Structure 1
Amino acid sequence: MDTFTALAAFSALSQPTRLETFRLLVRAGPDGMIAGRVGEVLGVRQNTLSTNLGVLRNAGLVRTVREGRAIRYFADFDGLSGLLRFLLEDCCGGAPELCRPLIDDIACNC
């Protein structure tokens, strides 16, 4: 991931509704969520949610699949992984053992 892409992702996540939406989709995992359900859970109007989902999608953090008239949204785990790699690529000045506690702490316990 380059700096420009990372900045787009950080900008997308810097707004409360978008951050909550992204975290909800991460929790939803591989099943994702229909847009209407995301709005219900977060208490966000559909037009506001649509705009925020578009920002997350353009930043590479969300992907979609059309299901008839509905759109299912998913956290883009490749985008998230790229952002985390970008943040940690120079971690600990070449001493990876110093980064191990951080990596263990953020690793999924699924």
Structure 2
Amino acid sequence: MESNKECSIAERWIKDQWAYKWKWEFELDGLFSVRSARKIIESSLLTTGNIVTRWCKNVPIKVNILMWRLMWDRLPTRMNLADKDIDIPSVLCPICNYEFDSSDHVFFKCDTAVQL
């Protein structure tokens, strides 16, 4: 990210402090912005699709994050943990011990959880 790749450490130590010349390579003007960083994260890490991430400001942020993780099936259910090769004793729902523990089951199909 240093704009001058050939600089020495001594060149960056100016008046008893570090002075870097950074260049943000993801924008044409070379300036960093949160918007450009978010675009990079969304394009490389997040699941792509036609759904735009929208946050509802009327609910707490943790509810927004929970709903986003539920929508993309990113909750740490036993099925998702098993898919990541995490050693767990069983993939059955710990509440009813009858069906596979998935986001769909926990939030919509497990009789005990739905009653709560």
Please say which structure displays the higher CA radius of gyration: 2
Which structure has more helix as a fraction of its residues? 1
The TM-score with structure 1 as length reference comes to 0.25
The TM-score with structure 2 as length reference comes to 0.24
Relative contact order, higher structure (CA 8 A, sep 6+): 1
Which structure has more strand as a fraction of its residues? 1
